[in-house]
Amino acid sequence: MSDPIIQMKNIEKHFGSVIALAGVSVDVFPGECHCLLGDNGAGKSTFIKTMSGVHKPTAGEIIFEGKPLDFADPRDAMAAGIATVHQHLSMIPLMSVSRNFFMGNEPMKKIAGISFFDHDFANRVTMEEMRKMGINLRGPDQAVGTLSGGERQTVAIARAVYFGAKVLILDEPTSALGVRQTANVLATIDKVRKQGIAVVFITHNVRHAMAVGDRFTVLNRGQTLGTAVRGEITPEELQDMMAGGQEMVQLEGSLGGTV
Amino acid sequence: MADTTDTDERIKEISPLRRALIRPELGGMVGTVAVFTLFALFAFDSGMFNSQGVMNWSIVSAQFMIIAVGACLLMIAGEFDLSVGSMIGFAGMMIAVFGVVLAWPMWMAILITFVICCGLGALNGWIVVRTGLPSFIVTLAFLFILRGFTIYIPQTVERKTIIGGIRDAAEGDWLAPIFGGKIGQPIFQWLGDMGVIGVFERGTRAGQPVVDGIPMLIVWAIALIIFGHILLTRTRFGNWIFAAGGDAEAARNSGVPVNKVKILMFMFTAFCATVFAVCQVMEFGSAGADRGLLKEFEAIIAVVIGGALLTGGYGSVIGAALGALIFGVVQQGLFFAGVESSLFRVFLGVILLFAVILNTYIRRIITGER
């Protein structure tokens, strides 16, 4: 493998007296799907917000494409090629797919010196990109509200890829989805990875992680419990690490190993 | 992945009717046709459709349209402005104070009034985005604050609540005719000579047409509608307006400057209110402390009849303009038809309720909610 596209070294983040991250190190290579696992409160959200420029780390270093990086705000991160797809907050249901697709990056054409929204271009590109991702739209003016949850995630991912994301952070993209929709989103992640984009996939579902992940990092109480490579770890071991071991063993006994 | 096949068997073909239903203008168009049909049937001989009659309801509709365009864009951006009516009274009073009491040149009075009112709009917007309070509450406060000043200022400086003499003060001014003048007089004179429209039979103006031109108020209304419509549907900023009202958080995540968009829309609403006020004081020649009462609600009703959602993110300027037209035609039409004018309010309430129910239903179709 080549050099990592982004390295997070000993990231610490304190909110007042609360230590949300106590020295987390993760590196992500182009074309890899790096799964970030952790239970609620493990620090996953704080960590990706630091990566995408929302938070400034209290200590530690972010190295992006070999250079130390200091994002002032999320727009900086976006411009550099770090895109985040949030669980719910990426799409606007009342707006058409093409308006959503180009939201914040509207294509322009000049007529008589005045810049207008280039709807023809936006519609054409939207239809093309959606077809590539396996979504058949009735038309580019179809409202996002009529799409399923999985399709919305796919539109959001396709949008990030189209606008040149090098690192794609997916914040629990499958947590609210049904089985089939989850499969679609996981297939989309696979397609994106094959295009050489680094994917950071946040989830607390081990099975979803095992389906597409190349490497797995487990966060627990603001610390990394280690990074494992695909094939070197079983789902059970990951599950145990996420839950912090002990109590889970007892629980699983009583639940008959179904968790 | 079954979704990759050419068609998804779970998506029913939607009928053209349903497709037409989700256009926000539809309600406005149907309403406009219905209203004109009704009055053509029952009030055709009342003078409603001769030149004075048409001009009468056109002016009233144009007044509604000017404030509806601002209210429409603001509502699509996800906010309300309840201070529109007070802003109209306040702006008119400012022009009277600057132009008559302080005797500044009228163009300067008008320009400074625009600056002050757009600044107040920006203040409204700034408070809303900074505090995160509902715009309903913030602008309700400004409804009272501005109305209070509109009464207090003329009482203090002139000991009365109506300041006249604006028409004299505006005499020979270069800017005032842009709000208070008329255009197209030669065409109307020619139409009068040809006998198409009515002319004065007697008096000093004998032979001149009764309707002698299109007031600038109507020109402003049409210009603002065209500007608003193009801004909303054909520009990047228009996309940001939809996004800011549809889901501010998602819009921010995509890099849309939501706060800037909202503040600018508050300023635009204030601008529209000021246009209304300037046209009104130029027409009446005076500014009154009670001008613009209830206009904020009339603007919101016109916008809702035009298909915009009260929750933001969806609507149309053309729809709002048609809503304003329905408003103006019915208000004046009932007068022409000899119907008790208080029934107009009954009509307003009924049509508002009907429009909101229809819009909610349409929203469910668009978003697929059940």
pLDDT of residue A258: 54
Q: What is the arrangement of strands in the sheet containing A33-38, beginning at the earlier edge strand?
A: A82-85, A167-171, A198-203, A33-38, A215-220, A223-229
pLDDT of residue B14: 58
Find the Cα–Cα–Cα–Cα dihedral B87, B90, B92, B95, rounded to 10°: -120
- Residues in chain A, total: 259
Residue B119 has pLDDT above 90, yes or no: yes
Q: What is the CA radius of gyration of chain B?
A: 22
Burial state string for B155-167 with b = 16 or more CB within 10 A and e = fewer than 16: eeeeeebebbebb
Residue B352 has pLDDT above 50, yes or no: yes
Does residue B16 fall inside a structural domain? no
Mean pLDDT of A225-239: 81
Supply φ then ψ for residue A87, to 5 degrees.
Answer: -60, -55
Q: How many helices (H) and strands (E) does chain B have?
A: 16, 4
**CA–CA distance, B275 with A99 (Å, rounded to integer):** 32
pLDDT of residue B200: 84
CB B107 within 8 A of CB B175: yes
Cα angle, residue A106 at apex, residues A98 and B66 outer, rounded to 5° = 90
**What part of B 74-113 touches A (C-beta under 8 Å)?**
none
B90-100 pLDDT per residue, tens:
999 999 999 99
B8: DSSP letter? -
CB neighbours of residue A36 within 10 Å: 30
Residue A11 has pLDDT above 90, yes or no: no
pLDDT of residue A57: 87
Q: How far is B338 from chain A, CA to nearest CA, in Å?
A: 43
pLDDT of residue B5: 42
**CA–CA distance, B326 with B321 (Å, rounded to integer):** 9
* Inter-chain CB proximity A134 and B1 less than 8 Å: yes
Name every residue whose Cβ is closer than 8 Å to that of residue A153 and which is 6 or more positions away in sequence: A85, A90, A170, A173, A174, A177, A185, A188
Taking Cα atoms as reference points, which of A255, A241, A182, A251 lies closest to residue A212?
A182
Residue A96 has pLDDT above 80, yes or no: yes
**What part of B 292-311 touches A (C-beta under 8 Å)?**
309
What the block records as the tokens of B35 is 């209203």
User: Where in the sequence is the domain holding B74, given as residue range(s)?
Assistant: 24-174+183-200+207-367
CB B126 within 8 A of CB B193: no
User: Mean pLDDT in chain A?
Assistant: 84
Q: Measured between CB atoms, does B226 come within 8 Å of chain A?
A: no
* Residue of chain A minimizing CA distance to B9: A136
Residue B12 banded pLDDT, cuts 50, 70, 90:
low
User: Mean pLDDT in chain B?
Assistant: 89
Cα angle, residue A125 at apex, residues A99 and A156 outer, rounded to 5° = 55
Find the Cα–Cα–Cα–Cα dihedral A175, A21, A211, A200, rounded to 10°: 90
> B75 or A24: whose pLDDT is higher?
B75
> A44 or A243: whose pLDDT is higher?
A44
Contacts A183 to B, Cβ<8 Å: 1
CB neighbours of residue B2 within 10 Å: 10
Cα angle, residue B144 at apex, residues B142 and B149 outer, rounded to 5° = 95
Strands (E), chain B: 162-163, 182-183, 214-215, 287-288
Least CB-CB distance to A117: which of B14, B236, B313?
B236
Burial class (CB in 10 A: 0-12, 13-18, 19+), B365: middle
Q: How far is A75 from chain B, CA to nearest CA, in Å?
A: 6
Residue A247 has pLDDT above 80, yes or no: no
> B113 or A228: whose pLDDT is higher?
B113
CB B304 within 8 A of CB B183: no
Least CB-CB distance to B236: which of A106, A151, A183?
A106
* Inter-chain CB proximity B234 and A102 less than 8 Å: no
Residue B351 has pLDDT above 80, yes or no: yes
Name every residue whose Cβ is closer than 8 Å to that of residue A48 and which is 6 or more positions away in sequence: A36, A84, A169, A171, A200, A202
**What is the residue type of B89?**
G
Residue B313 banded pLDDT, cuts 50, 70, 90:
very high
Residue A250 has pLDDT above 80, yes or no: no
Phi/psi region, residue B317 (left: phi>0; alpha: psi -120 to 50; beta: rest), is alpha
CB B245 within 8 A of CB B78: yes
pLDDT of residue B22: 67
* Residue of chain B minimizing CA distance to A187: B1
Q: How far is A73 from chain B, CA to nearest CA, in Å?
A: 10
Taking domain A29-54+70-94+155-255, whether its CATH number is 3.30.70.360 is answered by: no
Q: Which of B5, B22, B76, B253 to mutate to test the interface with A (most CBs of A within 10 A)?
A: B253
Euclidean distance between the first and final Cα of chain A, in Å? 35
Q: Domain ranges for chain A, please list them.
A: 29-54+70-94+155-255, 95-142
Q: Measured between CB atoms, does B171 come within 8 Å of chain A?
A: no
Q: Which of A54, A71, A84, A94 to mutate to test the interface with B (most CBs of B within 10 A)?
A: A94
* Inter-chain CB proximity A92 and B11 less than 8 Å: no
pLDDT of residue B20: 67
* Residue of chain A minimizing CA distance to B308: A94
Does residue B8 fall inside a structural domain? no
Least CB-CB distance to A187: which of B1, B233, B247?
B1
Q: How far is B317 from chain A, CA to nearest CA, in Å?
A: 16
* B177-181 long-range contacts, CB within 8 A, separation 24+: B177/B216, B178/B216, B179/B110, B179/B216, B179/B217, B179/B220, B179/B275, B179/B278, B179/B279, B179/B282, B180/B216, B180/B278, B180/B279, B180/B282, B180/B283, B181/B215, B181/B216
pLDDT of residue A47: 87
**What part of A 172-191 touches B (C-beta under 8 Å)?**
180, 183-184, 187
Provide the domain count of chain B: 1
Which range is least confidently modeled, A159-173, A238-252, B190-204, B356-370?
Answer: A238-252
* Inter-chain CB proximity B253 and A74 less than 8 Å: yes
Q: How far is B137 from chain A, CA to nearest CA, in Å?
A: 25
A39-77 pLDDT per residue, tens:
877 888 888 888 888 888 888 888 888 888 777 777 778
CA distances from B102 to A257, B106, B167, B315 (A): 86, 10, 15, 43
Name every residue whose Cβ is closer than 8 Å to that of residue A10 and which is 6 or more positions away in sequence: A23, A24, A25, A59, A60, A61
B209-265 pLDDT per residue, tens:
888 889 999 999 999 999 999 999 999 999 999 999 999 988 988 888 999 999 999
* Inter-chain CB proximity B242 and A187 less than 8 Å: no
CA distances from A156 to A140, A226, B84, B239 (A): 15, 30, 38, 17
* Inter-chain CB proximity B249 and A89 less than 8 Å: yes
B269-303 pLDDT per residue, tens:
999 999 999 999 999 999 999 999 999 999 999 99
Does residue B168 fall inside a structural domain? yes
pLDDT of residue A257: 54
pLDDT of residue B18: 66
DSSP β-bridge partners for residue B209: B199
Taking Cα atoms as reference points, which of B297, B331, B314, B308 lies closest to residue B35?
B331
**What is the residue type of B334?**
L
Mean pLDDT of A90-119: 90
Residue B75 has pLDDT above 80, yes or no: yes
pLDDT of residue A87: 74
DSSP A184-242: HHHHHHHHHHHTT-EEEEEES-HHHHHHH-SEEEEEETTEEEEEEETTSS-HHHHHHHH
CB neighbours of residue A235 within 10 Å: 12
Mean pLDDT of A206-216: 88
Does residue B3 fall inside a structural domain? no
* Inter-chain CB proximity A93 and B7 less than 8 Å: no
* Inter-chain CB proximity B369 and A145 less than 8 Å: yes
Q: How far is B126 from chain A, CA to nearest CA, in Å?
A: 21
Q: Measured between CB atoms, does B16 come within 8 Å of chain A?
A: no
* Residue of chain A minimizing CA distance to B234: A117
Does residue B213 fall inside a structural domain? yes
> A206 or B17: whose pLDDT is higher?
A206
Q: CATH code at B294?
A: 1.10.3470
**What is the residue type of B56?**
N
**CA–CA distance, B22 with A104 (Å, rounded to integer):** 25
Q: How many CB pairs under 8 A join A and B?
A: 100
Q: Measured between CB atoms, does B236 come within 8 Å of chain A?
A: yes
Contacts B231 to A, Cβ<8 Å: none
**CA–CA distance, B22 with B301 (Å, rounded to integer):** 19
